[in-house]
Structure 1
Amino acid sequence: MYLTEHILNKNWRLYISENRLCKDFAEEIRDELSLKLHGISAIPAAVPGNFELDMQKAGLIEDPFYGKNPLDIQKYENRHLWYAVRFDYTGDKPENAYLIFDGIDTFSDIYLNGNIIGSTDNMFIAYEFAAKGIKNGSNELLVHIKPTVIEARRLNFDMDVLTHQKYNAAALSVRKAAHSFGWDIMPRFVSGGLWRNCRLAEKKADYIEDIYLSTAEISDNKAYICGNFSTVIGGDYSTEYSLDIKGECKESKFSVYFDKLWHNKGALTFTVESPLLWWARDMGEQNLYRVTATLYHGKEIVDTTEFNFGIRTVRLVKSDTTDNSGNGEFCFYVNGVRTYIRGTNWVPLDAFHSRDGERLKKAIDMLLDINCNAVRCWGGSVYEDHEFFDFCDKNGILVWQDFAMGCATYPQNREFLEKMRVETEFIVKKLRKHTSLALWAGDNECDEAAAYWLDKSLSRDPNKNRITREAIPEVLKRLDPYREYLPSSPYVSERAWLNDNRNGLPENHLWGPRDYFKGKFYTGASPHFASEIGYHGCPSAESLKRFISPEKLWPWQDNDEWRVHSSSMETDTCGPYDYRIPLMAGQVKTLFGRDFDDLETFSLASQLSQAEADKFFIERFRSQKWRRTGLIWWNLIDGWPQLSDAVVDYYYNKKIAYEYIKNSQQAICLMLTEPENNRLELVGANEYRHDVMIDYKVTALSDGEIIICNKTELPANGALNICSVDIVPSKFEVYFIEWKAEDGTKGKNHYTNFELPLSFKEYIELMKKSGIIDSKYFKSVN
């Protein structure tokens, strides 16, 4: 597509002014000289960047993450930002030059050499502007980013708009990451900046604009491929052009050739004999065809593009409702094979999204290490870039992608619907090539918010939401018809709405009272699939010391810094998230029956509580495979330093729950279920598509007695009740489970049998014996 391309990420300068000081002349500024004449001075700017980080680097503000500093960031919500840079252009076809902004947060006007060339109002999409007025030699580029909270005041807020979040009213009409206005897992940082790359490119006269391939069906050892192509042709006669598309994966190949293009766009339909299929992790190989498309003008190659393509089908079979007897369904099928989902929720990697790229590698590697085969990209965040999806393509991680809306009813007016159509079209075209992308979901919890979060007399039928029932599916029908779509998570269909039973949804978010993790809410939950469920775990004392002032480290009670770092954007007790620290402490006390007097021991106890809870949630579902079809727990890693449900803190320090989940999500996993009639059932789950013979052993750690030692064959892609274990109901015991498969692969797990309260000291002693928990977690405990 591009003859030349240059990344314009260096030597930017940033000018900042309060709205009250510059509102009378801000729209008149078109170059740096005007800024200087108005007395606005510059600081160095990073691109990609957020202006608060530039201010911190310039010594104008303190670390936004430390102590109560997050509250101070609210003072800068009224800032106008001007990003300025000079660059050289040496091309000979300025009419083909374009400036591309991969991410601008959010409302902006762009000036080139003093002339406006474009405006933006959506953080989530890239913008491409013809570089009108570009000249050979030096050029001045100025980007004026306006304060989001002030721009939002100009937008409609009709009776159909409703937010359930105290800080988020301005977010609903603005296409900006919802969490940035404040969320229960993120601070209120209504930031601004060039958060992804800025590029200068010169387009070719003839180029391939897009190639899209999708697997419509696989049957009789054939794959039926559909798609389309789009080219830009500079010549008068399209028939002078030809297009050659070839794909290769190991010994398998396909080819499509158009010897004459009768139009610059066209449909693609072909079959691949004996295709090499792409499978989700542990179900088979992640075969990816390397596709090369070549555009010819006569015999001359004028453009070439390459991409990966996996041949696979993903189908979601779901019912409208379910009940405690399991009369319902919510199950993913990959290539016609039922696939049990072991996943995590993917939330913002950083409160400042310009740092997402530098944080991605460490975070995404954990998806493999913790044995996930799926990830849900949560709707309160941004859309991840290609690097994320490339990783999932190569490693068999199925991606559930929410569109960027959450926990509210959004505007239904024509203007907002059009914004959503534009955004949806851009995101779908950008990401649809990725084989790992299994599901589009309309939003996060917007159906639930409309149907169940208000008094019944005020509740609204979510099926009247024109965004998720009309705008988004219309785009998907045109651009990505073979990918599954779920209008919301959880989804309240017309039948479910009439049924009026929040607990009768086949896919649900299991938060509830967040009390004892083996309480009635969790054990009585009926859904086949849980796409959110989690439990609090306190970061280590070492991590807390990095963002909490020394004098505020302990105790947690009446502690304004702990309150702020549970995402309450005010220090008094009226904040909507003030409950989170007492909730965490209550979970600890419920399990161990006592309070803890020092930070180190409290942190350890909280992490153990979280670990046992998350383990219980995952294994309760997995031991009931296929009555249950998957669980996506909340969540992998924090996007800022906080006290939360994440199992990895912002500094990449793993909580104990990480190790427990890693064991519970192994492809081969043995689990002991909850006692019934003084017996535990040993259940083996196998995610491979072949039977697996294992030797296994269960040991009581209190005295080292081997309870069971035997072998069995686990059925392909199934779960097996292997045997029963007799117990003394009231006796505290940790059972250590280990196994070895025929190929030499080993695994381990544990089960804790106890009655409340659990003895903190005895539990630690036996877990030390197990070797499941690294000794580093116990260094502060005698």
Structure 2
Amino acid sequence: MKKFLVSLFALACCSYSIKAQKQYELAGEWKAASISQVKENGERISFPGFELSNWQPAIVPGTVLTTQLANGQIPDPFIGMNNKYIPDIYDTGRDYYTYWFVREFSETAAAGEQVWLHLRGVNYSSDVYLNGHKLNRQLHKGMFLRQQYNITKLLRKDGKNRLAVIVFPPDEPGNPNGGQGGDGTIAKNVGHQYVAGWDWIQPIRDRNTGIWDKVFIEKTGSVNLQNPHVVTLVPGKRKPTGGQQPAILKVSAELQNTGSVPLTGILRYTIDGKTVSKSVSLKPTSTTEVSLPDYSLVNPKLWWPNGYGEPHLYPVKLEFVAGGKISDREEIKVGVREITADWNTTTRSKQIFVNGQPVFIKGGNWIISDAMLRFSEARYDAEIRFHRDMNLNLIRIWGGAISERPEFYEACDKYGMLVMQDFWGSGDCNGRWLDPMKKDDQWTRRKYPDDHTLFLVSAADQIKMIRNHASLAIWCGGNEITLPQDIQTPLRDSILPKLDGTRWFVDYSNSDDMSYNFLGGNGDGPYGIQDIKTFFNHRTWPFNSEIGSVGAGDYASLERFIPAPNLVPPVYKKEIRRETVDSVWEYHKYIGYGKSIDAYGKASDLKDWGRKAQLVNYDQYRALMEGFSSRMWDWYTGVIIWKTQNPWTALRGQMYDYYLDPNACLYGLRQGGAPVNFFYNPADTSLHLINNTFVHQYDLMLVMSLFDKDGKERSLGQVFAEIGPATTRKVMDINRAIREAAKTEGVFLSLKILNLDKKVVSQNLYWLPDSSGQYSGLANMPKVQPEISASAIQKGKIAVTINAPAGGPISFFNRLSLVDPTTKKRILPVFYEDNYVSVLPGESRTVVLDYTPKNGVKPMLALEGWNMPEQFISIK
């Protein structure tokens, strides 16, 4: 085992930072061709002068499908039934999706300079050629194992170089037979599993074959600084504000001496204007790991999760200096924080602490940003920002997908999102359950993948790639199953302690080590739409890793990917107790709303259906988060929603659609997860106050009112309250008042928190059904004509104010949209301070919109309310 691990760590050392001293990406200008069109070998293809005029433009980073899509050879697989008509690799054979990718670039090496080629991700195996030479000795395999080559001696003197990469699909593409992960054999590879199809996606036809991640050129001196490792220790129990006791930094890095002679130099790093250094002697043609002296950072600015404090990041610059010259430099951003986990004996589940403070986990399950691996820093930033806006504090990366990219983690660092990173396995493919859709039996699937050594080498490599990110909080062995024992044991006991050693490792996503399962079943759920009372009175697993509900968008979202003939609403059938839906809806994995839409009156068309679905969406996710929060530290230490986003145009579980258009799920969840919240428990008609911060909250004025459909108010009183940090408690019961007021047509319940300046800290508006469970009053609400203004307050920011007239009804459930003035289509993405907002009679609400302006487009505001027709308003 010791010899094996030494070999493993050596193989996994090909790492680098995004911000090295001299580094650039080989983006754009790639060409591609199928192997059926190219008979020459790699040495010939990579030699400058080989004719490429009949090759097609290629997308790198990307896949064969993204290249085919860009060249108009396939229809968009995210729209309608298009994906059904793209040839599947299981039927065509692997050669059909085996492609060459070629890129020319200009580069030479100056005296004493080393030039490196990095490929951060190829799926699944590849051979790499440069200027007529093969770079890899044997076929490179593994979706998650990066490649690094010293190409200094192979660069042409005239600087005109050609790189050629042949990419082979996964060894086992699997049969997409409709099972979770198809027939399961996709898991025989060390790669992602969803590409053979799942209950939220149709199969990806090429299984994402291609150079799916970035390709870089890096230039260093004779010493290459790689795999820096920064560990921060924050002893004691800290607070987000005020002076801080020192924090300890432990920094190390690997130094690769490429020269044939010994070398002496200085390894140093700088943080907060201070420099820590160490003199180092390096043997020739060797790699040495060097640890710098521990450093005590005085009065540090700490990194905190979203909702608890600022996620401060320090720029850190590491350099190796020899002979007075910088040989190599790496720049990273470091969040000073310490994350620990302990067992809560009351809930019987793990509890997360950051800087000594207990953090109630409000999380979302994440699949991947784009199912066809079309990543961008801007998209990552937008998606993580949406999660921040939901008032979540953790994202779990599901094990059937990937280890996420550094740019994803950079966004999580920026927005204060903790991350739980699964490794690559799932109970569905890897044998937890008996499944007639699977090709192999459970005993065989339990041993997947085929190459356990490749899995461990890849895991070590990925750990080195992302371990410095402050947001990374938890490693997880796999989704709903442990990894094979000869993978799990060295990963847990040897690899992680050596390469990281600072984070909790949970053996699988719903393990008893995470959340003791005293309820039976498989340890997660329920899934699908719920009676909202369920979230309050039905006890689930104390750290629930997956619990989900609905998530369809409105008409503007649906029409982006559903063809016009198929834009028909689902219809609930009492006799079968479920909905019937169109075939395109079925293909896009629609998860039903049951009879919940009909409680608002049968939908007249899809626009009406989509509008009513948003009311259900808001209610579902607000209740989910308030239900779990109401039993914080009593029943629960955390909850992770299945799921908060879709990387494909699926009709289920999402707070925003694939095109980054948010729906009411996001804003219901935002309200339900507010750091300080005053909320209603529908199960027992009680009111609760929660403080999910580390600060004792004093002098909160709680204001309670009922409103009928016409806007007539009945006060339930107001009272000053205070509440300690990380606490939830019952305030009062309003059973009788609610029962009487809601009996005939339902009623609105308004709950507000005011501070001593009489400013609103939180406001929560519930629409409650009548005694038969119908929202009859909403159907008969009078129309309202609020005053609406929209003003640009700075570039990319617009303030929208809604004034509801006194003496009239509530201006209810107003959906704000920023639109193109010509097409009236929504501009995406836009970040709304709040949305689906309601304004009480005689009151005013102002919402700030944040977007990226485009040259020549002056947007308009669209606003549509429940009791107000859509309006288009010019922005001053």
The two structures have a TM-score, normalised by structure 1, of 0.83
In structure 2, relative to structure 1, the CA distance for the partners of 1:761 and 1:641 (3 Å cut) is farther
* Alignment match, 1:776: 864
Distance 1:493 1:47, change over 3 A: same
Which of residues 577, 581, 586 is equivalent to 1:563? 586
Letter in 2 for 1:773: Y
Q: Match of 1:136?
A: 157
Flag the structure with more relative contact order, 1 or 2, with Cα contacts below 8 A and sequence separation at least 6: 1
Q: Which amino acid aligns with 1:59?
A: G
Residues 292, 58 of structure 1: alpha-carbon distance in 2 compared, 3 angstrom cutoff: closer
Note closer, same or farther for the CA distance 1:68–1:286 as it changes in structure 2 (3 Å cut): closer
> Per-residue CA shift, 1:200-245, capped at 9, x if unaligned?
3333202322331213451493434444332223567867322233
CA–CA distance in 2 between the matches of 1:239 and 1:135? 28
Question: Structure 1's 425 and 758: CA in aligned 2 closer, same or farther, altered over 3 A?
Answer: same
What are the residue-to-residue correspondences of 1:475-486 with 2, within 5 Å?
475-486=495-506
Which residue of the partner structure matches residue 459 of structure 1?
Answer: none
Distance 1:121 1:523, change over 3 A: farther
Matched, 1:694 2:700: yes
TM-superposed deviation, 1:669 = 1.0
TM-fit CA distance, 1:586: 1.7
Deviations 1:656-697 (A, max 9, x none): 222211111211111112343xx4233233424333432221
2-side partners of 1:465 and 1:316: how far apart?
24
Give the distance between the partners of 1:235 and 1:88, measured in 2 at CA.
24
- Inter-CA distance 108–509: structure 2 relative to 1 (3 Å threshold): same
Larger deviation, residues 415-424 vs 258-267:
258-267
CA drift at 1:475: 1.2
Contact 2:257 2:282 in 1 (8 A): no
Confirm or deny: 8 A CA contact 2:167 2:210 kept in the other structure: yes
Question: Aligned to 2:32, which of 14, 29, 54?
Answer: 14
Kept in 1: contact 2:529–2:620 (CA 8 A) = no
Matched letter for residue 724 of structure 2: P
Counterpart contact for 1:35–1:41, Cα < 8 Å:
no
The yes-or-no answer on 1:669 pairing with 2:677 is: yes
Provide the secondary structure at the position in 1 that maps to 2:620: helix
Post-superposition offset of 1:780: 9.7
- Checking the alignment, whether the CA contact within 8 Å between 1:673 and 1:681 is kept in structure 2 is yes
Cα gap change, 1:126/1:239 in structure 2, threshold over 3 Å: closer, same or farther? closer
Deviation, structure 1 residue 3: 6.7
Report the Cα offset of residue 650 of structure 1.
1.4
Would the aligned equivalents of 1:238 and 1:260 in 2 still touch at CA under 8 Å? Answer: no
- The one-letter amino acid paired with 1:737 is L
| Equivalent of 2:365 in 320, 345, 367 | 345
Q: Distance in 1 between matches of 2:652 and 2:480?
A: 19
- Separation of aligned partners in 2, 1:623 and 1:495: 18
Q: Is the CA contact 1:686–1:714 (under 8 Å) kept in the aligned structure 2? A: no
Whether 2:475 is the aligned partner of 1:440: answer yes
Tell me which residue corresponds to 1:572.
none
Q: Residue 81 of structure 2 aligns to which amino acid in structure 1?
A: K
- CA separation in 1, counterparts of 2:535 and 2:646? 26
C-alpha distance in structure 1 between counterparts of 2:868 and 2:86, whole Å: 35
Instruction: Measure, in 1, the Cα distance between the counterparts of 2:415 and 2:593.
Output: 38
- Please name the residue that 1:292 is paired with: 317
Aligned residue for 2:294?
A: 270
Deviation larger for 749-758 or 621-630:
749-758
2:661 match: secondary structure: coil
Q: For the residues of structure 1 that align with 2:56 and 2:119, how far apart are their CA atoms?
A: 21
Q: How do 1:107-256 and structure 2 match up within 5 A?
A: 107-118=125-136, 119-131=139-151, 133-137=154-158, 138-148=160-170, 151-152=171-172, 165=180, 167-189=182-204, 190-216=207-233, 218-219=235-236, 221-233=245-257, 240-248=264-272, 255-256=275-276
Q: Report % sequence identity.
A: 21
- Of 464, 467, 475, which residue of structure 1 is paired with 2:487? 467
1:59–1:36 distance in 2 versus 1, CA, 3 Å: farther
Contact 2:112 2:222 in 1 (8 A): no
Shift, 1:592, TM fit: 1.9
Shift in alpha-carbon separation, 1:522–1:749, aligned structure 2, 3 A: closer
On the 8 A contact 2:44/2:50 being kept in 1, the answer is: no
Residue 411 (structure 2) aligns with? 391
- For the residues of structure 1 that align with 2:48 and 2:183, how far apart are their CA atoms? 32
Change (3 A) 1:244 1:13: closer
Question: Does residue 530 in structure 1 map to residue 533 in structure 2?
Answer: no
Q: Name which of structure 1's ranges 163-172 and 597-606 shifts more when overlaid on structure 2.
A: 163-172
**CA distance in 1 between partners of 2:813 and 2:608 (Å):** 20
The code of the aligned residue for 2:27 comes to: N
Cα deviation for residue 169 of structure 1 reads 1.9
SS in 2 for 1:489: coil
Q: Write the mapping of 1:347-362 to structure 2, written as runs, cut at 5 A.
A: 347-362=367-382
Contact 1:767 1:773 in 2 (8 A): no
For residue 592 of structure 1, what is the amino acid of its counterpart?
A
Q: 1:705 to 1:412 in 2, by over 3 A?
A: same
Matches within 5 A, 1:371-386: 371-386=391-406
Distance 2:127 2:85 in 1: 27
For the pair 1:102 / 2:102, whether they are aligned, the reply is: no
1:403 aligns with 2:419: no
Is contact 1:12-1:47 (8 Å) kept? yes
Q: Could you tell me how far 1:334 is from its partner in structure 2?
A: 0.9
Tell me, in whole angstroms, the C-alpha distance in 1 between the residues paired with 2:328 and 2:376.
32
Structure 2 CA distance for partners of 1:202 and 1:296, relative to 1, 3 Å:
closer
Residues 723-756 of structure 1: CA deviation (Å, up to 9, x unaligned): 3324343733321112223474632113344468
1:195, 1:226 → 2: CA distance? 33
Change (3 A) 1:191 1:243: closer
Matches within 5 A, 1:26-45: 28=41, 30-32=43-45, 41-45=54-58
Taking the aligned partners of 2:777 and 2:726, their CA distance within structure 1 comes to: 37
- Give the SS at the match of 2:479: coil
Tell me what 1:84 maps to: 102
Residue matched to 2:720: 711
Structure 2 equivalent of residue 578 of structure 1: none
- 1:468 touches 1:488 (CA, 8 Å); kept in 2? no
The CA deviation string for residues 316-361 of structure 1, in whole angstroms up to 9 with x for no partner, is 2236xx8xxx551321111111111222222222121124445223
- Count of residues in Structure 1 that have an aligned counterpart in Structure 2: 721
Partner of 1:606: 613
> Contact (CA 8 Å) 2:622, 2:670: kept in 1 or not?
no
Look up the equivalent residue of 2:773 and give its one-letter code. Answer: L
CA contact (8 A) 1:692 1:716 kept: no
Pair 742,177 (structure 1): closer, same or farther in 2 beyond 3 Å: farther
Change (3 A) 1:595 1:475: farther
Please give the alpha-carbon distance, in whole angstroms, between the structure 2 residues aligned to 1:108 and 1:234.
25
Please give the secondary structure, in 2, of the residue aligned with 1:70.
helix
Q: Secondary structure at the match of 2:475?
A: strand
Q: CA separation in 2, counterparts of 1:85 and 1:133?
A: 15
Aligned to 2:577: none
On the 8 A contact 1:420/1:471 being kept in 2, the answer is no
Q: 1:402 to 1:708 in 2, by over 3 A?
A: farther
Specify the SS of the correspondent of 1:588: coil
Equivalent position of 1:49 in the other structure: 62
Instruction: Please state if 1:308 is matched with 2:333.
Output: yes
Shift of 1:183: 1.6
Moved more, 207-216 or 435-444: 207-216
C-alpha RMSD of the superposition: 3.6
Please tell me whether the aligned partners of residues 114 and 219 of structure 2 are also in contact (alpha carbons under 8 angstroms). Answer: yes
3-state SS of 2:679 partner: strand
Sort the Cα spacing of 1:299 and 1:99 in 2 relative to 1 into closer, same or farther, 3 A.
Answer: closer
Partner of 2:460: 425
Report the Cα offset of residue 89 of structure 1: 3.1
Structure 2 residues without counterparts, runs of 5 or longer: 1-15, 238-244, 431-444, 571-579, 782-808, 815-834, 838-862, 871-876
Letter in 2 for 1:717: A
